[in-house]
Structure 1
């Protein structure tokens, strides 16, 4: 039976409004989920102070890349659990005038001393302590190099202009609020074990700060200042590099000054696909997100989701089965393309997708142990963070970066203020053994020196008639790909605006464990029907924190930040340079 709701009726109205180019009437009045609207630029990020800084850069005449770089450095101060200097990530840059999209890979790299068995104990088992919390768990950070690369090639402002706001934030301090303190206190037991973290983020005797108190970060400010003055050399060489190497040597870590100096940013060809007449552009490997977003959309193109109705058992079942096949292929075929040949064309081929769609039964779930990665002829934390930016000229940045776990390994290099990542856990420490997020990998993602670990980070842009109708991405570890998929499907198939799409409850399946994780908000009858089809359901928060922007025409830009994480904020910037908050 087709299931319709009042909200589905509203989305049908949205479809007509979109077609008639009457979006203003719909989004401002007919929807209970209202995004921020602007006639110029827009910033959507998980942290309100960083959003403010990026919006002010746009107001000063900076382009999307200038604002994104300012935001990336600011988050290292205001969102230390995920914003970072000591991690890495991926950035999509769309240049409107050239109609070109570039993929910037600044993922961490394995140190030169890394080995494929470095996390195995004497019994050949993976040591979780070593792979997640030791200094060996840290890859060579790429964030500083990546942000500066983007600025130098595609920005218009100087390092001083885009970095000074973050430096001011670190020097003058931030007024502690609940989102900032909650992130610290939730992980206090782990964080205070590191003397440097305890000294910087807590008071004497590990007492927590209170709301309204000022927290300052002079060591981080000093590091940011060195980068501002010296560029990448201020981080990858000199005093900071000396501190990194000394700390690693004294504590059985692997990163050396040579590792830091030899770090390289890579520009890669974006992954492109299509879905129901929309153009899909996403991140290539070592991100697994782009390939599997397009693979999943290709499969779903064989089903009429809009006719099924949002939230129906058919809608959820078909998507869940699709997710299983995506993650099965991820386990075998994805890795760093500089070390492993990824069968990209075959994975995103529509004929291959159709062959998978034909295996999906609407009446019965296929058990995960009956799904294997396809045989062709020839791992990550929920505390990642994403931001999206568009400027008045239509240039776009979609960026996701991370430390892996919240606050990475929970360690700071003394004297730098820099949290270390624990991204080495995203490699397959042992083929067939799941990482911290239940993701299984194989030889394609085995540890090798200078190799980049596989990631689920999925910065994505959807175009229609030349307009970026959806710029999005999310944190969420293994759930990033499905979270981004929901945002795309809700936008295209169910005609939701970026705010409503983010607010709807989500669900997730990743092949193993054979569990369909579902947020609250779905009908009990729907859940009953899914169980009857053989879906193993567990109530769980199933999605991350999408930060989305939509440009529907020359005059309308909309932004929305996911309510699932406190402190997120979308801010518009008018053509005249005024900041718009609502």
Structure 2
């Protein structure tokens, strides 16, 4: 569902939007954000409310048992950008051979059950956002989510689809089956009511005690006891030691006075986007027909994704960020692109690709003062590890699978491993989550989507729509295709290319892989400072709702 509201030009000064806008993938989360803004909260309070509401309404995509990245804009004469890393951390007892049994990796161990779960980061992020940046008490911003968890949320078609994909794993855990399946262990009927009273209790403890309400005391004790009783390796110290990390966002100059503000490592997305846009600036992509533009986009993605094996948790490995974003280096990469022919990935220096779960979530919010948040949250695969800690309502992530789980060089999917992203005690796994801003004196935009390793390519295609002057509603709706160096193929949505376009791409040397369904769920914002207008749009592929809040409805 797409809802885009355009405000009248000239209504505000360039320094502030004067109104607020919210774009989320679920109407209940949008309402939670709008409610919080109407009560006098700022964008950071709204981000807390939205994140917590999504934890209730989209248990298949994010939750208190997961983590995420928050890109922040603090308004002012000169905006300040911050990046809050709430990525999950490996338990302290984790080690490179954690998933090796009898000399071979057992892929199920990093996908299902508590051994697949890293230490959650989202609860800490909510407390930190409220405590360091918000105007309202944490309890006020958590109120909508607590209400949703107690009163129930209607099961929709996306919930049913995601649950059907993970049905077997969900049935294997008694608590997950009890909470998220029907009485017969089947996917609940559409419009049936999903109530989560244990999760409401956990949220209420957070509302009362803040971060300590999750990472210590009764909740922490239940988490550790439940995880370890089922074969996990958590400790109370793992929870007590968890902290979010404030990192410097990627800041990369673009043409026409614009600047990209993106996600730094342990996200691979910000660097990939900066590299891709820098290479495209060396190519005549704007004047190209559709096939030629696709050719340019695929070739820059091929080169950007190749560099991802150099990335990992910056607290554990050295990241050659300066080299990867060096102008001369990127010009050299662009100069190696053949104008007419595909570059076989095998002809480029090898670099292992990355596997990630696709089913994360993303939202964006901006308040009347110009504070803004773009956040991508995840528990990895749909319904995470399909393991819910008894007595807490917390469905755990399976983010440990985002590490290179095979120390001998290939992960459970047959993909070569990156030693920079090997399993390690206390490490954060590499991610493609890419909350992104682009700002100039005249405009401010926010982008982001779920989608695993396809996230940077999706964001890139939406950014190109923006740079090409297309309407905001087109940005999240654009047809999607993807190339990630290996496998050497263009994946694309059904109908993304006509038969003649497909034939021409194949004639250029590309292998095309049509997918059976659409993917991604992008949420975007656009503040035109010069015209005094504000717009928000949600991906038509999902059930999202984007709205603009009038000044008179805010305190």
Greater displacement, 219-228 / 542-551: 542-551
Query: SS of the counterpart of 2:365?
Result: strand
Query: SS of the counterpart of 2:465?
Result: helix
Q: Give the deviation of 1:543 after TM superposition.
A: 4.4
Task: Note if 1:101 corresponds to 2:78.
Answer: no
After superposition, residues 14-53 of structure 1 pair within 5 angstroms as: 35-38=4-7, 40-53=19-32
Which residue of the partner structure matches residue 268 of structure 2? 288
What 5-or-longer segments of structure 2 have no aligned partner?
Answer: 8-17
1:305-334 CA-partner distances (Å, limit 9, x unpaired): 11004xx11100111111111111102x10
**Distance in structure 1 (CA, Å) of the matches to 2:47 and 2:272:** 26
Which residue of the partner structure matches residue 476 of structure 1? 451
Which residue of the partner structure matches residue 155 of structure 1? 134
Q: Is the 8 A contact 2:69 2:376 kept in 1?
A: yes
Which residue of the partner structure matches residue 305 of structure 2? 327
Q: Is the 8 A contact 1:380 1:437 kept in 2?
A: no
Which residue of the partner structure matches residue 387 of structure 2? 411
Task: Note if 1:192 corresponds to 2:174.
Answer: no
Q: What TM-score, normalized to structure 2?
A: 0.93
Q: Give the deviation of 1:174 after TM superposition.
A: 1.8
Task: Note if 1:535 corresponds to 2:507.
Answer: no
Out of 501, 523, 535, the residue aligned to residue 547 of structure 1 is: 523
Task: Note if 1:340 corresponds to 2:309.
Answer: no
Q: Give the deviation of 1:435 after TM superposition.
A: 4.9
Which residue of the partner structure matches residue 20 of structure 1? none
Out of 390, 398, 405, the residue aligned to residue 374 of structure 2 is: 398
Which residue of the partner structure matches residue 384 of structure 1? 360
Which residue of the partner structure matches residue 79 of structure 1? 58
After superposition, residues 92-491 of structure 1 pair within 5 angstroms as: 92-97=71-76, 98-123=78-103, 125-277=104-256, 278-309=258-289, 312-331=290-309, 333-372=310-349, 379-430=355-406, 433=409, 435=411, 440-465=416-441, 467-468=443-444, 470-491=445-466
**Distance in structure 2 (CA, Å) of the matches to 1:362 and 1:533:** 10
Q: Give the deviation of 1:122 after TM superposition.
A: 1.9
Query: SS of the counterpart of 2:111?
Result: helix
Q: Give the deviation of 1:82 after TM superposition.
A: 1.1
Query: SS of the counterpart of 1:49?
Result: helix
Q: Give the deviation of 1:130 after TM superposition.
A: 1.1
Q: Give the deviation of 1:457 after TM superposition.
A: 0.4
**Distance in structure 2 (CA, Å) of the matches to 1:486 and 1:438:** 28
Query: SS of the counterpart of 1:399?
Result: strand
Judged with a 3 Å threshold, the aligned counterparts in structure 2 of structure 1 residues 433 and 482 are, in CA distance, closer, same or farther, namely farther
Q: Give the deviation of 1:542 after TM superposition.
A: 6.5
Judged with a 3 Å threshold, the aligned counterparts in structure 2 of structure 1 residues 274 and 439 are, in CA distance, closer, same or farther, namely farther
**Distance in structure 1 (CA, Å) of the matches to 2:380 and 2:186:** 26
Judged with a 3 Å threshold, the aligned counterparts in structure 2 of structure 1 residues 431 and 276 are, in CA distance, closer, same or farther, namely farther
**Distance in structure 1 (CA, Å) of the matches to 2:112 and 2:163:** 17
1:147-197 CA-partner distances (Å, limit 9, x unpaired): 211111111011121001110111111233333334334432321221001
What 5-or-longer segments of structure 1 have no aligned partner?
Answer: 1-32
Judged with a 3 Å threshold, the aligned counterparts in structure 2 of structure 1 residues 186 and 249 are, in CA distance, closer, same or farther, namely closer
**Distance in structure 1 (CA, Å) of the matches to 2:461 and 2:221:** 45
**Distance in structure 2 (CA, Å) of the matches to 1:505 and 1:578:** 36
Q: Is the 8 A contact 2:106 2:412 kept in 1?
A: no
1:544-566 CA-partner distances (Å, limit 9, x unpaired): 1111001012631111111122x
Judged with a 3 Å threshold, the aligned counterparts in structure 2 of structure 1 residues 263 and 466 are, in CA distance, closer, same or farther, namely farther
**Distance in structure 2 (CA, Å) of the matches to 1:76 and 1:228:** 15
Count of aligned pairs between the two proteins: 537
**Distance in structure 2 (CA, Å) of the matches to 1:539 and 1:526:** 13
Q: Is the 8 A contact 1:325 1:373 kept in 2?
A: no
Greater displacement, 182-191 / 477-486: 182-191
**Distance in structure 1 (CA, Å) of the matches to 2:381 and 2:433:** 14
1:284-303 CA-partner distances (Å, limit 9, x unpaired): 10011111110111111111
Query: SS of the counterpart of 1:141?
Result: coil
**Distance in structure 2 (CA, Å) of the matches to 1:407 and 1:394:** 34
**Distance in structure 2 (CA, Å) of the matches to 1:302 and 1:188:** 47
